[in-house]
Structure 1
Amino acid sequence: MKLFRIPMRGSVLWAILTQLLLCRNGVFAGNGTKACKLGTESSSQRKVLERLEPLAHRNLSVEVTEEKEKYTYVFQLCGDAGGVPNAGVIQKKIDSKDKPTIIGSYTSTEVIGGSDWVMLLYHNGDKYDSHCNQEERKAMIMISCNKNTEAGNFEVILEDRDRLKDCFYLFELDSSAVCPPVQSQLSAGSIILIIGFCFVAVYLIGGFLYQRLIVGAKGMEQFPNYAFWVEVGNLSADGCDFVCRSKNREEAPAYRGVSADALDEEPEERDDHLLPM
């Protein structure tokens, strides 16, 4: 039996290995937030989940020390956290071969949202051994608005297990995904003014280039429609002068008692005495 060796470039092999690694980590599993199964399907909850789409299938982890023991918590939105099937949040003891503890499952999701926050709840976790009447664990992830990061640090806030029922783990995460959209601060009048200024700028620049490069104008004649605007300016000045000035345009004589008619008439000079006799 002959074995045929198929030549494979390093880049192709690297691409295949990368895809296998991503599939193993759950990146290609599911369809974003649609992989989350709501306890009670509703359009309002589904709409809140869609806001978290940038966080889907991203493993976020944190290490904590509890009672002299170190644990790692891993969270993934609508995907297998740490590669554990159906687990949204897991707890894994460091330096231990024990299987991870499922804190909550994304196959039983509940979500509540506000203007700049989202509360994500994962139910159906592993049962407690001796606490909370051995009920199932539950994870609550509080996601708050932070415009400076797409996914901030995943933090453990509280594990409340000293009660008879409704015990929970509380986690916190900052993300820009839950921030409200930025509203435009421009009014309709401002937009109209901006558009008007843009048209004027295009008219002046385009007209100047046309007059200079095509027509060959020099000096003030490079201004587009120069003769028209000069005429408009003159007419505007005449109209302003006619409307705003109320006094007579004829100036009064400088001395009192002398009429204007007298100033206009020049006396006839007699130069007969200069003639030779």
Structure 2
Amino acid sequence: MRVLLCLVSLPHSFTAISSLLASWAQLKGKRVISSGTKDCKLISHSPLQQKVLERLEPLVGKNFTAEDKASNESYTYVFQLCGDAGGAPNAGVIQVDKKIPKTTVIGKYTHTQAIGGSDWVMLIYTNGEKYDTHCNKEERKAIIMISCDRNVKVSKLEVGLEDREKEEDCFYLFELDASSVCPVIESKLSTGSIILIIGFSLLAVYLVGGFLYQRVIVGAKGVEQFPNYAFWVEFGNLAADGCDFVCRSRKREESPAYRGVATDNLQEEPEERDDHLLPM
């Protein structure tokens, strides 16, 4: 009877497992699909700030963690660009208290400001949870300073400071280095220089490859190892003929100091005969 019940319940079990796998696949697919920096909602939308965010596109979808060990309190901070930091909905930066434990949202990527320079980007997340006693109980704010460093793709997140000893405008400062915010190095070579470099490179490949082919495959010796030797010799001869034709095509004028002698005034000398010298 138990075997029969198991057999009856198997199809339902397979159906349940299949539905769970399908749901998991859909959730996994949703996590993979990302609209990039477009998930960040700018407080005051402007094309300039959107371009600044696009410079940070390589950092999307990554959690950056930092430990704050400077104070007596032990906190862990998690930052994510235009994504849920540590899985907290709409949180760009969170603070995790290990002792309690407790998670505090410092700033949300749904309230973003982006300021950029030539080699840096300042990302500001506002609308965080309110302070309990500090800063006149205003909302928390996170500032992430991302600087240029060509030697690393992205560095570790560092905790700068928490400025909360005032009445208003308090903030958390974080520092991060990335190569994506570095300015593009423009090539100083002109178009003519690039063409010459390409031309000399092709010429070197032609000479070296042709020399090796003539020597190894054909078995040529001496100057015949030069690639297409007969063609270049003929080309040189044709070039010389062309130069001679262009440069020496006009007839030269005879110098007045040297004039030819007229042959009409010359008298024919009598032919000397030496028959009488022969022995009779």
- TM-score by structure 1 length? 0.70
Amino acid at match of 1:155: E
Q: Secondary structure in 2 aligned to 1:3?
A: helix
Structure 1 residue 163, shift from structure 2 partner: 1.6
Amino acid at match of 1:55: L
> For residues 30-64 of structure 1, what are the alpha-carbon distances to aligned partners after superposition, in whole Å with 9 as ceiling and x for unaligned?
41111100011111111110110111121111111
- 5 Å-filtered alignment, 1:7-18, equals none
Q: Secondary structure in 2 aligned to 1:40?
A: coil
Q: Corresponding residue for 1:2?
A: 9
Q: Corresponding residue for 2:69?
A: 65
Q: Are the aligned partners of 1:103 and 1:139 in contact in 2 as well (CA < 8 Å)?
A: yes
Cα distance in 2, alignment partners of residues 60 and 22 from structure 1: 22
> For residues 172-199 of structure 1, what are the alpha-carbon distances to aligned partners after superposition, in whole Å with 9 as ceiling and x for unaligned?
0111111112322433332122122133
Q: Corresponding residue for 2:139?
A: 136
Q: 1:153 and 2:156 equivalent? A: yes
Q: Corresponding residue for 2:87?
A: 83
- 5 Å-filtered alignment, 1:25-36, equals 27-28=31-32, 30-36=34-40
Amino acid at match of 2:84: D
Cα distance in 1, alignment partners of residues 205 and 33 from structure 2: 52
Q: Are the aligned partners of 1:54 and 1:150 in contact in 2 as well (CA < 8 Å)?
A: no
Amino acid at match of 1:35: D
Structure 2 residue corresponding to 1:53, chosen from 57, 78, 99: 57
> For residues 251-273 of structure 1, what are the alpha-carbon distances to aligned partners after superposition, in whole Å with 9 as ceiling and x for unaligned?
xxxxxxxxxxxxxxxxxxxxxxx
Q: Are the aligned partners of 1:52 and 1:178 in contact in 2 as well (CA < 8 Å)?
A: yes
Amino acid at match of 2:147: S
Q: Secondary structure in 1 aligned to 2:113?
A: strand
Q: Corresponding residue for 1:104?
A: 107
Q: Secondary structure in 2 aligned to 1:193?
A: helix
Structure 1 residue 134, shift from structure 2 partner: 1.3
Q: Corresponding residue for 1:218?
A: 220
Q: Corresponding residue for 1:262?
A: none
Q: 1:169 and 2:176 equivalent? A: no
Structure 1 residue 225, shift from structure 2 partner: 4.0
- TM-score by structure 2 length? 0.70
Q: Corresponding residue for 2:127?
A: 124
CA gap of 1:65–1:213, structure 2 versus 1, over 3 A, is closer
> For residues 69-123 of structure 1, what are the alpha-carbon distances to aligned partners after superposition, in whole Å with 9 as ceiling and x for unaligned?
211111010000111100000111013233x111100000000011110000001
Structure 1 residue 148, shift from structure 2 partner: 2.1
Q: Are the aligned partners of 1:140 and 1:170 in contact in 2 as well (CA < 8 Å)?
A: yes
Cα distance in 1, alignment partners of residues 229 and 193 from structure 2: 29
User: What is the root-mean-square deviation of aligned Cα atoms in Å?
Assistant: 3.5
Unaligned runs of 5+ in 1: 7-12, 240-277
- 5 Å-filtered alignment, 1:266-277, equals none
> For residues 6-26 of structure 1, what are the alpha-carbon distances to aligned partners after superposition, in whole Å with 9 as ceiling and x for unaligned?
6xxxxxx8xx97996796xxx
Q: Which moved more, 1:216-225 or 1:59-68?
A: 216-225
Cα distance in 2, alignment partners of residues 74 and 211 from structure 1: 66
Q: Corresponding residue for 2:17?
A: none
Q: Are the aligned partners of 1:59 and 1:76 in contact in 2 as well (CA < 8 Å)?
A: yes
Q: Corresponding residue for 1:258?
A: none
Unaligned runs of 5+ in 2: 1-7, 15-20, 245-280
Q: Secondary structure in 1 aligned to 2:143?
A: strand
> For residues 127-167 of structure 1, what are the alpha-carbon distances to aligned partners after superposition, in whole Å with 9 as ceiling and x for unaligned?
11122221111100000011122221111111111222111
Amino acid at match of 1:80: D
